Amino acid sequence: MSKSQSSARTPAPTQAAPVAAVDVSVESLTFEQAYSQLEAIVAQLEQGDLALDQMLDLHARGQKLADQCARQLDQAELKVTQIQD
């Protein structure tokens, strides 16, 4: 088998599909789901290979996710405080 034949059978490296500004309500996500999506968005933005409009959409979604995570952490902290009192 020649080199060209063997390389033709080797699958090309795949990139993670861009996280789209999904219509899923941020408020319906668990903390873990929101945080995971936020991490994926940050990774994509750090790559810097997106069009400006895509970057802006991802940034807006990321901000909503970050706000939701902060709200959920605040709620958890309040519950812990109430339990301790």
User: Which domains does the chain show, CATH number per domain?
Assistant: 23-84 (1.10.287)
Condensed to tens digits (0 to 9), the pLDDT of residues 43-76 reads 999 999 999 999 999 999 999 999 999 999 999 9
Q: How many CA atoms lie within 13 A of 3 on its CB side?
A: 0
What SS3 class is residue 84?
helix
pLDDT at 11 over 60: no
Confidence (pTM)? 0.70
Average pLDDT over residues 1-5: 50
Helices (H), 10-84: 31-47, 52-84
pLDDT at 19 over 70: no
What pLDDT is stored for residue 85 in this prediction?
Answer: 80
